[in-house]
Amino acid sequence: MPELPEVEVVRRGLDTWVRSRTIRDVEVLHSRAVRRHEAGSTDFSARIVGRTVAGASRRGKYLWLPLTEPGKADHVAGSAIVGHLGMSGQLLIEPEEAPDERHLRVRFRFDDAGPELRFVDQRTFGGLAVADLLDDGAGGLVPSPVAHIARDPLDPGFEDAVFVSRVRAKDSGIKRVLLDQTVASGVGNIYADEALWRARIHGERPSSRLTSPQVNELLAHVRDVMEAALAQGGTSFDALYVNVNGQSGYFDRSLAAYGQEGLPCPRCGTPIRRVAFMNRSSYFCPQCQRPPRGRAPQGRPAAER
C-alpha cells in the first residue's frame, strides 16, 4: 500500500496539473470506486461537475481536491473530492485521446480541453467520495472522513510533544504504535521498519519504556527517511504505485532493512531478518535492534510459516 511519501508525490503532481481547472464532466465506470460516497455515483458526479479545483491537499494517506463553491466571490471551498489509493489505486494525468487503462474506474474531464484525470484501481480497494470540509481547529479545512486522523510527521502543524506523549502513554510494541493513524498518520510498514532500523530500536520494544529523547530521535528518523523517499519519488516494488505521469519511484534501491531479508545489515553486516507481523512482515537487524527482554518475539520467521 502506498505510504505517506508516495501519496505526497501524487499530491504534488495533482496540484500542478488540476489546480484552478473547472470540471466539465465525470464518468464513473465502476460503482465500487465511489462506494464511499453513500449517495451513489449519480450524486457523486452531480456534486462535482461545474466546480473548480482549488488545489490538492493531503493528510496521512488521504488525498483531497478542494472544490470552490459556484457563485461565491471569495471562492471558499466548501467540499472536496476525497481519495484513498488503497493497495493499487492510481491517479493519472492523461491526454483525452490516450487509450483507456484496463482498470480505469473514474474519469474527470475539464473545460479547458487539457489532460484529463483518471482514477485507475486494479484491486478496487481504494475509492473516491465527495465530502464537506470541516474546520480542523487549527485554522485549516479537512474533509469529514479525514477529521479523526492525526496529523502526519511532515505536516507543519504536527506537534512533536503531543506525539511523544501519545507514544509513551501506550504499552504496545513501538512498531504497532507507529502504524496507529490516531497517533501519527501516514507511517506504514516500509518506513516504520526503516526508521526503527536507523534508531536501532526493535519493533516489539514497548513504547512506554522509551524515553522522551529516544522517541524524539525516532521521530527525526521517521522524517528523514520520508524526506529521502520523497526526493526519489517514493518506493515502487511493482507497477501499481506510480506518480500522476505513470513513473515509478526508486527509493527501494536505498532501503536498509525493509525487503532486505538475508542481506547484510549496512551497519554491522549481520543478515537482516524477516518475521511475521500483523499479517505482513517486519524486517530488522538482530544485532543492531536487540529484542526487548521478557518480550515475546514477533512470531516465527516468515520463511518458516
Tens of pLDDT, residue by residue over 91-122, are 999 999 999 999 999 999 999 989 999 999 98
Confidence of residue 244 (pLDDT cuts 50, 70, 90): low
Catalytic machinery residues: 2-3, 61, 280
Choose the weakest-confidence range: 156-170, 186-200, 210-224, 247-261: 247-261
Long-range contacts of 38-47 (CB under 8 A, 24+ apart): 43/130, 44/128, 44/129, 44/130, 47/79, 47/130
DSSP bridge partners of 173: 206
Instruction: Sketch the domain layout of the chain as residue ranges.
Output: 4-146, 160-304
Q: Scanning the structure block, which residue is given the C-alpha cell 518475521?
A: 275
Residue 237: what pLDDT?
43
Tens of pLDDT, residue by residue over 35-68, are 999 999 999 999 999 999 999 999 988 999 999 9
CATH node for 4-146: 3.20.190.10
Q: What is the mean pLDDT of residues 259-288?
A: 94
Q: Which fold has domain 160-304?
A: Helicase, Ruva Protein; domain 3 (1.10.8)
Answer yes or no: are the C-beta atoms of 107 and 97 closer than 8 Å.
no
Cell numbers for 35: 462506494
pTM for the whole structure: 0.81
Confidence of residue 303 (pLDDT cuts 50, 70, 90): very low
Residue 71: what pLDDT?
58
